[in-house]
C-alpha cells in the first residue's frame, strides 16, 4: 500500500509518538543511533528495546522486533557497507540517517533520538547507498519548464500550517486544477521515494499541459512529534483535513477555475479519495491512482506474503489483523504499528460503498506490476462503479506502484532506480481533465 518497503515495519511506525522535550544538554545523537543500529543488525532486540522511549517501547515491543522487524531486515541480506550518517538536528529530537548497502540493494535506516538520548523513531526507506551521491531529480522529457511557473503557498493555519507549491500554467486562465494527496507515512510534497519524485513528475507534467497542480508537505512529515500527541489519531488528522484545506485554498487562487478543481490521490490518498469527496461536494472529480478497496490490514498481509516474510512474522501479523477486525474501542497498545483509534476509524470505512455515493467524475488508474495495490483492488473499483455514469479506468501492464515503467517482478529495491511517471499516465490524466 502506502510505503515502498514492508509496511509492517516502516509505513505506520513513522506516525508513532516521538519524544517529549527535556531540559538540559542533550547527548550526541550519532553514537546513540549507531549503537541502536548495531543492535538491530546483530539481533540484540532486548538491548535495543531498552534504548527506546516509553512510547516506542509500547508501540514496538521486543516480540515485534523479533518476529516482524528482524526478519524484514534479514530479507535484504547482509549489511555489506554502512556509510557515514547524516544528521538533522532539532530542538527536541535529532534525526540520524545511515545509508546501508545490503545484498538486496541500498536502503537508509533513519533513527530519531530525543534529547534524553532515547530512540523515538525507527524507519527503513529505499536509499542511494553509502558513498553514493543522490541522483538529482531532473525533469522528464514531457515537462516543458517554459509552460508554467511555481508559487509557494501555505495550506491551513497554526498549529498545522503546511508549506506547498502551486504549479500554474503560463497564459490566460482560469485553469482547471488538481490537488495531490500522498500515501501513508511522512511524505514530502514530491512524494519522494528513493531516487524518484512522482508527485513532482505529475505536477510539472500536468502544468506543462495547461492544468494547475497543488502539492504540499504532509502533516506527519512537518509535525511528527505534535501529531504523536494527538489522542485517538485517525486518517482525518493524518490526511483528510489537510486535503480539504488544500482544495479550499486552490479555489481562492485567481488563476484557477473553482468549478474545475479535482483531487488526485495516490495509494493511501487514493483509498481515501471517496471519503474526501464526500466531505467536499464541490469537487469536479477524483483521480484514484493505486487505491485499495480491501481492508488495509489484509493488504499488509498480502504484501508480507509477496515479499516472502518468515512464517512467524506472518502469524504475528495475522493475529494482530484479527484483533483489528474485531476492535470495539481504542483502548490498548498499537496494532500493526498504528494506534487502535486509527484502525477503529478505518473499520467504519468502505471505499467501494463510499465511491458509489459520488456523482462527480472518477478516473481510476492501476499499474499492472504493482505488488502493493493489486488487481483485486482494481477489480473492486470496477465492480463498485459499474453503474456509474462517468467513471473511466486505465490499467498499465508495465507500471509499478509509482507508475514508473519496469520489467519482471516488482521489489522494493526497484524504487532506488531513478525513473519518471509514465508519459502515458500524464497524458491520460490531462486528457480526462480537459474533456
Q: List all residues 6 or more positions away from 245 whose beta carbon is below 8 Å from its beta carbon.
A: 155, 156
Kindly provide the b/e burial profile for residues 98-110, where b requires at least 16 CB atoms within 10 angstroms of the residue's own CB. Answer: bbbbbeebbbbbb
Q: What are the distances in angstroms from CA 323 to CA 6, 55, 109, 182, 425?
A: 20, 21, 29, 27, 39
Residue closest to 151 by CA, chosen among 265, 219, 250: 250
C-alpha cell at 56: 516506542
Torsional class of 158: left (φ above 0), alpha (ψ -120 to 50), beta (otherwise) = beta
Q: Is the peptide bond preceding residue 159 cis, with omega within 30 degrees of 0?
A: yes
What is the dihedral sign for C-alpha 373, 375, 377, 381?
A: positive
In the numeric block, which cell numbers belong to residue 229?
Answer: 500527541
Q: Are 369 and 405 in contact (CB under 8 A)?
A: no
Cβ neighbours for 1, distance < 8 A, ≥ 6 positions apart: 7, 11, 183, 184, 267, 268, 271, 292, 296, 299, 300, 303, 372, 373
**Concatenated DSSP letters of 282-298:** T-SEEEEES---S-HHH
State whether residue 423 is helix, strand or coil.
helix
Query: Contact, 369 vs 410, CB < 8 A?
Result: yes
- Extract the C-alpha cell encoding 280: 467536499
Residue 276: its H or E element: helix 273-279
- Residues designated as active site: 267, 370, 401
Residues contacting 380, CB < 8 A, separation 6+: 292, 293, 294, 351, 352
Amino acid at each position: 500500500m502506502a510505503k515502498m518497503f514492508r509496511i509492517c515495519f516502516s509505513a505506520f511506525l513513522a506516525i508513532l509518538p516521538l519524544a517529549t522535550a527535556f531540559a538540559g544538554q542533550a547527548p550526541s545523537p550519532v553514537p546513540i543511533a549507531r549503537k541502536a543500529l548495531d543492535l538491530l543488525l546483530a539481533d540484540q532486540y532486548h538491548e535495543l528495546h531498552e534504548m527506546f522511549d516509553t512510547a516506542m517501547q509500547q508501540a514496538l515491543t521486543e516480540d515485534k522486533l523479533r518476529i516482524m522487524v528482524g526478519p524484514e531486515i534479514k530479507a535484504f541480506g547482509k549489511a555489506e557497507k554502512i556509510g557515514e550518517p547524516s544528521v538533522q538536528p532539532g530542538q527536541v529530537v535529532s534525526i540520524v540517517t545511515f545509508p546501508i548497502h545490503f545484498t538486496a540493494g541500498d536502503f537508509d535506516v533513519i533513527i530519531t533520538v530525543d534529547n534524553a538520548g532515547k530512540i523515538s523513531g525507527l524507519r527503513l526507506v529505499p536509499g542511494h547507498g553509502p558513498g553514493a551521491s543522490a541522483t538529482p531529480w531532473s525533469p522528464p522529457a514531457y515537462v516543458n519548464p517554459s509552460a508554467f511557473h511555481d508559487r509557494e503557498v501555505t495550506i491551513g493555519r497554526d498549529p498545522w500550517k503546511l508549506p506547498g507549491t502551486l504549479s500554474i500554467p503560463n497564459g490566460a486562465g482560469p485553469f482547471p486544477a488538481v490537488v495531490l494527496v500522498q500515501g501513508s507515512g511522512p511524505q514530502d510534497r514530491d512524494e519522494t521515494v528513493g531516487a524518484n519524485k512522482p508527485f513532482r513528475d505529475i505536477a510539472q507534467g500536468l502544468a506543462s499541459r495547461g492544468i494547475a497542480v497543488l502539492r504540499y508537505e504532509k502533516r506527519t512529515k512537518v509535525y511528527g512529534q505534535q501529531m504523536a500527541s494527538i489522542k485517538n489519531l485517525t486518517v482525518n488528522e493524518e490526511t483528510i483535513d489537510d486535503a480539504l484545506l488544500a482544495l479550499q485554498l486552490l479555489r481562492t487562487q485567481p488563476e484557477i477555475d473553482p468549478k474545475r478543481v479535482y483531487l488526485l490521490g495516490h495509494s493511501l490518498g487514493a483509498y481515501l479519495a471517496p471519503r474526501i469527496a464526500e466531505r467536499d461536494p464541490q469537487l469536479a472529480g477524483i483521480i484514484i491512482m493505486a487505491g485499495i478497496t480491501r481492508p488495509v490490514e489484509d493488504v499488509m498481509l498480502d504484501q508480507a506474503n509477496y515479499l516472502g516474510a518468515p512464517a512467524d512474522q506472518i502469524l504475528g501479523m495475522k493475529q494482530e489483523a484479527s484483533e483489528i477486525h474485531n476492535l470495539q474501542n481504542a483502548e490498548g497498545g498499537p496494532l500493526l504499528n498504528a494506534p487502535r483509534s486509527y484502525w477503529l476509524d478505518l473499520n467504519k470505512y468502505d471505499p467501494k460503498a463510499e465511491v458509489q455515493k459520488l456523482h462527480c467524475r472518477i478516473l481510476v488508474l492501476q499499474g499492472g506490476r504493482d505488488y502493493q495495490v493489486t488487481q483485486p483492488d482494481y477489480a473492486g473499483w470496477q465492480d463498485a462503479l459499474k453503474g456509474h455514469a462517468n467513471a473511466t479506468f486505465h490499467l498499465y501492464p508495465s507500471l509499478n506502484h509509482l507508475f514508473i515503467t519496469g520489467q519482471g517482478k516488482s521489489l522494493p529495491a526497484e524504487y532506488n532506480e531513478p525513473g519518471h511517471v509514465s508519459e502515458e499516465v500524464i497524458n491520460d490524466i490531462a486528457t480526462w481533465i480537459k474533456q
